[in-house]
Structure 1
């Protein structure tokens, strides 16, 4: 149940700073809704429209009423996969208006902060401090434990058809009341969700609008959190069945029994291999379908067994109208139950990485493009799903032989340097090899000597603490990635100036190495970005904009560091 303090927080008036934070946290280039505006318009004209936006929010706060046009939305379809063939290959997405989006995000941000107190720990979707891997890790541990102890256990993988689209609003409202939400909050949800209309975009043109009678709109900021409230109903029904002795979950120990794991609508039920459990599952799922509106997708729902007789498993699957499956199987697109010590388990992960990071992928990309490519690989389900397991050493070594996304073959580039380093050394063959810490005369590692070495490295590379803080600020703002990468390389003095290119032998000394702007000095990083007379004029003007007095005697990139630290997170 929600406390009075939680309800007071939910019903607080909308503050200007809260509204501004919501607006600036959104991508302003998203497709507009029926009003034709995106959030970049509000960001650009905030000083002009601020009073009108705050007045609209204050009126909604007081009366919980929205104009009909304000709650309208466009429905469009986006493909789930390449070359879609029928309607089921598309996902419906709603485009909502600018002001309505702000209001929805305000309510969603508040709901998100209190919902963790109401939703069971078995649900691992959308809430702070909960991750998709939570359920996968627990499920893997249970399968491993049952396998080692030779316990009998049935796993019910339940999938719901178009879960968001069939939610019964009456059930959602009853769940909110049962959880202790104040009447004022329930009225706000009624106005935002239950009194909405929709038009379908056909070839970019909207059809006549119609009133929506059920479901949660895909793309609506509130939808994920409201769906968790609906899904919590199934968790509570299962736990009630356990309390009255009608369902028996998997017994981990005397004090811990696990019955259900969820990620939004993806659900795993587990328990003993008994007909009583099968009858209870069928009754609970049918009852939940009737009250919530969520229909079971029998083609995707499956029944698996650990140390369960095959004939009983087949009979149980037929009784539930599920399909029987074997372990390992996929949950949330991630294999579970596989042996991480076998090479076959990791082959799909390595193949997926190799496919995404093929040798030619990063050759002609900008640094910003390379960052995007790396993020797409690290966030892919095959790799992300195995973060809880340790990669086999052989596969790790094979991954290390792939081409680098940042540079060409490092081994080839530094082979000559390695030969020069080893030239003249003779290896002792009459003793065993051992590790030696070269910073201590006795060869033993100490924290003190390591600290001294790191401090010397920092001073030798002119990367002071302020520079490190400035580098952090480059990555925590709204700058385009290519601009952030450029600033990062500037602070680390890794930009290809004429002096740098000549030093590396990329250009010959016959080419003019003087500054491209003033031609008065060698074009190195310090001169080109800080000491050139033309550049100093720009820095002086920039310092004036941020309220600082420019010192012509500042050295090297202190100018840039000072500006970054003063500006902080970039805002319009």
Structure 2
């Protein structure tokens, strides 16, 4: 298998700068020279970013980044790392250092102490292998390969510790328009916002432009001095900046060509894909472009798109970033495209990041007559909707089935490969669960699959075997919890919110291309499985929300709720702080009858121990152990069993081989090919049990009631000291397998 992969990925020839290199030595030299040139800084004019206002961390936060490294901090970072990643030039994987921690921790701590005091380490630790991964099948040009850095284990540990510190403060300096590498932000957020922007433009019948920009060799071409200026403006201290400079500038590279290192050279620009620090440094560099676009919007040079809902509030969205994937929204005018072009030119002069015009495109919204002229002004090509952004559909009507064609085609391609082989039913189930079922998950995280598509996918899987609502629900959970995220602000502005901001309002009007209306179809079941933890109580309804019981008090004590005066009051409003140590203000429209007093007492008993505090109200997921929404738990909730009792949990057991589970499943349904079923299929054989020779063979006889089988059952029952009469069928046996004898002895057997 390894030899086959090596032959498949062999670089026998390569096209560099339009010229084919065939000889082995030519290929090695050509690849090395190209990357050496790519990672060498151009000595040209560099724009000054001194007047650009970026976010800044506090002096206290800057000092906290420079504190001495603690042993538990380093060990924790080491254990977080994936030990199976390929090693760097030193040959030691992270797994080695994890296993050798007790033996090597003193030397590792000494290395960190040296780095803290002198901002340096042994230079050989930062030697790097560059491995070239094909971006597509049949890659020929050098540009068709993605360079991934294999750094040494100890340097990766150092960078991981620094990255863990950096990500604690990066939210202070990176704007909400950047959706990458910041806790609480996801790649799906940008896709959701982009589709809602297009939906707003189309429903208002306004013209606009979407500029999808691709940054050429983004990580490899960013200027180090530019990064240091950005860090300085963001308030990072001199020691931290010295650490960053040491990490990025001390690297030396060898290129792995057909598994053999070629060349050994330093670099003067760029960040390494594979270095834990690189993503965070890159998004901080992109913050300069974010500021430039925001200032252009404030000055009226770019307009963006104004999201408006039922209220008078509006929210302007001019751009979205996910690492180097950039999308800009502007007016369909030559002036605005020209201003954007100048912004990109200035940003390139400052940072070294150049827009790849061949891969960038300008997409018109509405009838834009001079679109070719606008594309020429920017330098990109003309695109159209529907398109793709971050691997997800952009501008596709959310009920269109065509967006799922790619998923269905990928499933069919996988099946075409598997059908060439003989695979048992147990093996087929394993492939369906491990591979086919996961193919649509990324798209299902934001788009609802139409029933017609779901039926086709299920039929494809069934055909292979025999011859999604839980993902959208997470958005409802996130809306209640993540109030400061950009996507939440977009949805709140466009559609509004209710219940003190815990949930969005229902979406009304035509479907369009916005995805939120479809997501809201999954809101009810998710909301029913959320509960509140009372703090101040200012955002929780006393009667109508779940906070002290599994169901709202209005349902627990319906007769009292009908009599309540303040049915929509919050917990805070129902609490009388002036009454001694505080008490509940329960006001009803009339006095209680004698038979209602027990109910009042039960209500007061329920409320005992609950009182408002100074903390904020919060929401929890009721189906999980720690109160956090989990896709797996939501799936189990939605995957309700059939009305017919079926012993699924006694058949599909994790520790039992799949083929054994599948046999038990077939036996439960009476589908095992015993002699009676073979006769039904036209096989002419006498039906006589091969074990006892007395009775006709069927699944219940051969597994339960045959005298030979009964002898085996008697042995098992004797081992666990149980007397039990076996039921008539296999299904009844599995359903009944939960008597008083079910315990440790049975589990051991």
Measured in 1, the distance between the counterparts of 2:110 and 2:437 equals 41
2:652 and 2:661 in contact (8 A); partners too: no
- 2:354 is the counterpart of 1:295: yes
- 2:744 is the counterpart of 1:555: yes
412, 435, 439: which one aligns with 1:377: 439
CA spacing shift, 1:174–1:557, aligned 2, 3 Å: farther
Match of 2:158 in 1: 103
1:153 and 1:308 in contact (8 A); partners too: no
* 1:32-431 equivalence runs, <5 A: 32-253=87-308, 255-311=314-370, 313-356=371-414, 360=418, 363=423, 365=427, 371-374=433-436, 376-379=438-441, 384-404=442-462, 408=466
CA spacing shift, 1:346–1:201, aligned 2, 3 Å: closer
Measured in 1, the distance between the counterparts of 2:363 and 2:662 equals 65
2:407 and 2:440 in contact (8 A); partners too: no
CA spacing shift, 1:366–1:389, aligned 2, 3 Å: closer
2:348 and 2:354 in contact (8 A); partners too: yes
CA spacing shift, 1:371–1:47, aligned 2, 3 Å: farther
How far off its partner does 1:143 sit? 0.8
Measured in 1, the distance between the counterparts of 2:298 and 2:743 equals 72
Measured in 2, the distance between the counterparts of 1:137 and 1:220 equals 29
Measured in 2, the distance between the counterparts of 1:407 and 1:366 equals 6
Largest Rg, 1 or 2: 2
* 1:492-503 equivalence runs, <5 A: 496=660
CA spacing shift, 1:403–1:64, aligned 2, 3 Å: same
Aligned residues: 459
Measured in 2, the distance between the counterparts of 1:110 and 1:405 equals 51
Cα RMSD (Å) of the superposition? 3.9
How far off its partner does 1:134 sit? 1.0
3-state SS of paired residue (1:330): strand
Measured in 1, the distance between the counterparts of 2:57 and 2:279 equals 19
How far off its partner does 1:350 sit? 3.0
1:359 and 1:403 in contact (8 A); partners too: no
CA spacing shift, 1:164–1:405, aligned 2, 3 Å: farther
Match of 2:691 in 1: 510
Measured in 1, the distance between the counterparts of 2:388 and 2:230 equals 31
Q: Specify every segment of 5 or more residues in structure 1 that has no aligned partner in the other structure, as ranges.
A: 410-446, 449-467, 470-474, 476-484, 514-520, 533-552, 561-572
2:125 and 2:155 in contact (8 A); partners too: yes
Match of 1:452 in 2: none
How far off its partner does 1:91 sit? 1.0
Measured in 2, the distance between the counterparts of 1:488 and 1:40 equals 33
Match of 2:506 in 1: none
1:80 and 1:89 in contact (8 A); partners too: yes
2:407 and 2:439 in contact (8 A); partners too: no
2:201 and 2:208 in contact (8 A); partners too: yes
Match of 2:653 in 1: 489
TM-score of the superposed pair, with normalisation by structure 2: 0.55
2:139 and 2:145 in contact (8 A); partners too: yes
1:10 and 1:111 in contact (8 A); partners too: yes
3-state SS of paired residue (1:496): helix
Measured in 1, the distance between the counterparts of 2:329 and 2:224 equals 29
1:84 and 1:90 in contact (8 A); partners too: yes
